[in-house]
Structures are given as C-alpha cells and as structure tokens.
Amino acid sequence: MTEVDSLQTQINSVISLYSNGHIQEALDSVETLIKGYPEEPLLYNISGVCYKAVGQLDTAVKSFEKAIALKPDYTEVNYNLGLTLQELGQLEDAVKCYEKAIATKPDYAEAHNNLGATLKDLGQLDTAVKSYKKAVTVKPDYAEAHYGFGITLYLLDQLEDAIKCYEKAVAIKPDYAEAHYNLGGTFYQLNQLDAAVKSYKKAIAVKPDYAEVHFSLGVVFRTLSQQDAAVKCYEKAVAIKPGYAEAHRNLSALKKYTKDDPQITQMQSLVSTSDLSQSDRMLLCFALAKAYEDLGKQDELFKFLHEGNRLRKEDLSYSLDKDQKLFTSCRNLFSSLPPAIENSLSYETSAIQPIFIVGMPRSGTSLVEQIIASHHAVHGAGELSTLSELSYPIINDYSNYYDTNSLLKKAFFSIRQQYLDSLSSFNVSENIITDKMPLNFRYIGFILSAFPEAKIIHLKRDAMATCWSIYKHYFQSRGNGFSYNLEDLAGFYDMYIDLMAFWHQLYSDKIYDLCYEDLTTNQEEETRKLLAYCELDWDENCLNFHTTKRAVKTASALQVRQKMYQGSSKVWKQHEAYLEPLTKALSSYGINIS
C-alpha cells in the first residue's frame, strides 16, 4: 500500500468515526494524522468540522484558516469557515467566505442559501433576495432555501410572495414545522385567520411540543374572540416551556385569578431568579400585576406594575423630549402653512372614503371602530401604521418643506396616493374604511391636507381613566414609550390636549369630538349622531356591535365583543392613593381630575 493510499484509508476511518457520532475519537485521530501530514489541507478541514461539532468554534476557525493558507481556493473549507463565523456572529467575515466558495463553485446552492441568511441577518434584505433566488434556481427542491427566502420577503413586507415561498417549502418537505409556523404567521398578518389556524395546526401535528406555535395559535383565537381556546393554547405553551414569559403575560390578560392559582406561584418563582432576561422579567411583572389586581392586593399590584413599567421604559430608552419635538414640529409646520398651498390642493374624487378614529390609546377607539364597522357599508381596518410612516419623515425634516412650498404640495399628493393604495390592497367590497390608529391625532394636519373629505372622529375620555388604563397595559408596539412612567404619561397627555386644541382652532368644523362616557350612557343617541356625521344611514347592527364577527387585534379585542359597559372610567378611584403621583402631575398641567 502506498503512502497516499495509507493516508486515504486513515482519513476514511476518521470520517467513519465522525459519521457514526464518535466525534471526540475522530478529533483525536485527525490531530494525530496532522502531526504526520502537516501540509495536508483536508486534515485541517476535518479537524475544523470536528471542533465545530463539539462547540469549540474558535479552534475550528483556526483549523479552517490553516487549510485555506495551504489551499486558498478550497471551496468546501471556505464554506465551512463561513458557517462557523456565522455561528460566532462574525457576519461580515462569513459573507466573504461564502463569496469565495461561490467564486470557485458558482452552482453551490448551500453557499448561496447561507449567504442569503447572513445578508438577511445583516439587514441587507434586497441582496439576500438575490442569493436566495440563486439557491432555489440551482436547486429547486431546496426546502430550506425557499423557507429563508420567505422570511426575507416577509421582512420586506412582501407577504403574498413570502406565502408562496413557505408553501413551496412545505410542499417539498411536508414535515417542515418551522415553515408551517411562519406560513401561519404571514396569514395572520394578512388577516387570513382561518388559513393561519390551519398552518399552525399542521406545525403542531408535526411537532407537538412547539411552544411558540401553541402561543401563536392562541393569539389567533384571541383575535377571533375565542377566549377559551386561546387560554388553552397559552396554557399548553407554558406547560411545554414553563419560562415562556410572553405566554404567561398573554394568559394573564384573559383569565380571572383566584388566590390558589398555581400560575401565580410559578411566575413568582421565575421572577425571583437572577438569570432572567430583562424582557422576560418585564413581561412577568405585568402578568403578576394583573394577577394581584384580580386578587385585590394593591401593594403587590403596584410593586410589580411599577417595576414592569420601569423595565419597559428602560428597554425603549424613551424620552419625552422626542415626542415634544415631534409635536412642536407639527405645530410649526401647520401654523405657518401658506394659504396658497391649501387653496391649490385639488384632488380627484376617490372611490375609497377613509374614516380616521383618533385620540389617546385606551380612550375607546376600538369600541367606536367596532360600532362603525358593524355598518353594512364599512370595513374596519384596525390600527394602520401607514399614515405615520408617510407623515413622520416630512415632520422630521419639516424646515425643508416649509421653505419649499412645491415640496410640501407634492408631499400631500404623495401621502394621499400611497395611503389610498394601501387601503385598496385590502380588496374589500366596502368603500368606506376605518383606520383607528389612536396616535394619528398627531397627524390631523396631514390628514386634512391630503384628504379634505376625510371624517375624523376624536375620542375624549376622562383623563385619569385614560392614563390609568394606559399605565397598567403592556403594549407590544414600541410606539407608546410615554406609557411606562407616570410623569411621562402626564406630560404626554398635556401635549395631546394642547395639540388637539391647536387642530380644533385650525380646523374648527372638521373634527368630530365624541365623549366616551356619553357613548356608554347614551348609546343609541350618540350612535345616531356618530353615523350622521359619517354620512351613513342608520343600521341597527351598530347598536349590536358586540355580535359583529371581525378580526380585532388590539388590546380591546374582548371588550368590543361585550355589550356596552358603563362605569369603567371610575375604576381608577379604587387605586387613588397609589396613583397620587399621576393625579398631581396632571393637575400641575391644569388638567381636571374628577
């Protein structure tokens, strides 16, 4: 036997050990071989693979680098080094390795796939798309590449195309639980809730202990107001993954606690551990606050509520100054809006008629949308971020638009067209569509400049009732940073009152104020006036709004399925002593506390 044959036999033996799961033995053997053949790059590649398998990533990198030093165009080693660097989080270097592997082997589907994944993680989504396209072109039955492609398209908000990719992945690999899961999540975002349920159930059938899928299925059931089904899903998620803080928090929002509830003990145990992440601790604090509110234990309620809010504010790095700057920019822009612009804005009549429902969060916007959306001619679109996304860049750079009237005029036309395009994408038969993003009150000037025909309903609710409801609620969105500190909350509320006064002065006959308390005590009278303002004929369904079947994704999803409830605006008085900092702060701004 020649020396070459002898080396190959020994290499085959090492590979056999590795393939049969004897990783350490394979590693010991290959290290021995390297001593005898220090110039053989294949041995360093095998060594790197073994070190990577036992979790010694830094050592694996050194082995791969030795192989490349001996053979720079070693395709497989460049690929393996890319995998290792990717796992170490050294993404830019991983990209270079995958590119080197592809340079020597252009049809290397796995390298294109992993390059796509790395570029995705770097936020280079458009470039990642190109890599995934190449991977699935080279290897059409590559389920993992179709899956990664779907994730990237989802992040690019190309949801329909993402669905196609996920569907290809599960067609190739029917037991691909993660693809079923992501497919369900994309259906949910598109409000195709029945399809979302089916996909989640398929994922669970493949992988019954997939806690995240049980959780997400619970979210869908909650959106559909199937409370019992949602509770079971959250409970299953927690049973599989006891430390699942988000599932604990969602579960807490749906149940009424009794003193012997074992979940309270479980959450207390979790929150007392030192290795808990800040995010998980925050979520558990909100969940425990809800539990102790149900039990009437106010000291514990506010202990956990204050801590949860403190952690959330810290997580968001929120400062009231940022919102103050935004509000001031809005005022400056529209207080000096040249009349020539307003007089020259002439739009083509749109078939779609938007209704904007605005106000502070937790002021009754979900209830009012549910009432209006119960009308046969109206589609309730929920909370849309579109207007904010279109308006904020202009406010952020308002001086340029103020100085150049033509730019501002173009901006209003662009907002109108892009917003109407987004509403058209719902593909619904109704021409009247509601947008109940509460904080759109900041953009009323943009609304009425881009949509002179728009209906704007402004919800007004007792200040303390609104602020208390906000403070005790955890918002998944990161856009309500003012909510998590009593002084910030009072300051933001004052800014809201001030800005709304400005809008009323500027557009005195364009904003319909609706008092939440009046609506709950005089339901039919206020509903009739509301529909008259919206130029809608009477529809008895609007009185029976709680029976309307539609997806509601906001925190008020369960409340809007119930009959009109009176007295909620006085609940805060039960906690008056604990809320004294809030009452004092609001009073200091001259806001009436009743």
The predicted-structure confidence for 131-146, as pLDDT tens digits, reads as follows: 999 999 999 999 999 9
pLDDT number for residue 182: 98
Contact 536, 430 (CB under 8 A): no
pLDDT number for residue 1: 46
pLDDT number for residue 346: 81
> What are the tens digits of pLDDT across the range 44-68?
999 999 999 999 999 999 999 999 9
Average pLDDT of the chain is 92
Task: Please count the other Cβ atoms lying within 10 Å of the Cβ belonging to residue 179.
Answer: 30
Name, in order, each residue with C-beta under 8 angstroms of 36's C-beta and a sequence gap of 6 or more: none
pLDDT number for residue 6: 78
Q: What are phi and psi of 434, to 5 degrees?
A: -95, 145
pLDDT range class, residue 339, cuts 50, 70, 90? low
- 3-class SS letters over 139-185: CCCCHHHHHHHHHHHHHCCCHHHHHHHHHHHHHHCCCCHHHHHHHHH
Q: Could you write out the DSSP letters of every residue in 81-114?
A: HHHHHHHTT-HHHHHHHHHHHHHH-TT-HHHHHH
Decide if pLDDT at 554 tops 90.
Answer: no
List the domains of the chain with CATH numbers. Answer: 320-588 (3.40.50.300)
Contact 524, 542 (CB under 8 A): no
Q: Give me the sign of the Cα torsion angle 462, 465, 471, 475.
A: negative
Contact 432, 536 (CB under 8 A): yes
Name, in order, each residue with C-beta under 8 angstroms of 269's C-beta and a sequence gap of 6 or more: none
Q: What percent of the chain has pLDDT over 90?
A: 80
Decide if pLDDT at 563 tops 90.
Answer: no
pLDDT number for residue 257: 96
Decide if pLDDT at 406 tops 90.
Answer: no
Range in 341-345, 371-375, 574-578 the model is least confident about: 341-345
pLDDT range class, residue 245, cuts 50, 70, 90? very high
> What are the tens digits of pLDDT across the range 17-49?
888 999 999 899 989 999 989 999 999 999 999
Contact 151, 162 (CB under 8 A): yes
Decide if pLDDT at 558 tops 60.
Answer: no
What pairs with residue 514 in β-bridges?
459
Residue among 516, 494, 502 nearest 329 (CA)? 502
Burial class (CB in 10 A: 0-12, 13-18, 19+), 24: exposed
DSSP one-letter code for 558:
T
> What are the tens digits of pLDDT across the range 432-455?
999 999 999 999 999 999 999 999
User: What are the C-alpha distances in Å from 21 to residues 14, 15, 26, 58?
Assistant: 11, 10, 9, 21
CA atoms within 13 A on the CB side of 143: 13
Averaged pLDDT, 329-343: 75
Name, in order, each residue with C-beta under 8 angstroms of 297's C-beta and a sequence gap of 6 or more: none
pLDDT number for residue 333: 86
pTM recorded for the entire structure: 0.88
Greatest Cα pair distance, the chain, in angstroms, is 100
Decide if pLDDT at 5 tops 90.
Answer: no
Q: What percent of the chain has pLDDT over 70?
A: 93
> What are the tens digits of pLDDT across the range 85-133?
999 999 999 999 999 999 999 999 999 999 999 999 999 999 999 999 9
Decide if pLDDT at 170 tops 80.
Answer: yes
pLDDT number for residue 18: 87
Decide if pLDDT at 403 tops 80.
Answer: no
User: What are the C-alpha distances in Å from 435 to residues 55, 126, 307?
Assistant: 51, 30, 33
User: What are the C-alpha distances in Å from 556 to residues 221, 384, 402, 475, 542?
Assistant: 14, 16, 39, 12, 17
CA distance 105 to 107: 6
pLDDT number for residue 400: 64
pLDDT range class, residue 560, cuts 50, 70, 90? very low
Looking at residue 397, its amino acid is D
Decide if pLDDT at 351 tops 60.
Answer: yes
pLDDT range class, residue 407, cuts 50, 70, 90? confident
Residue 460 in 3-state DSSP?
strand
> What are the tens digits of pLDDT across the range 276-329?
999 999 999 999 999 999 999 999 999 999 999 999 999 999 999 999 999 999
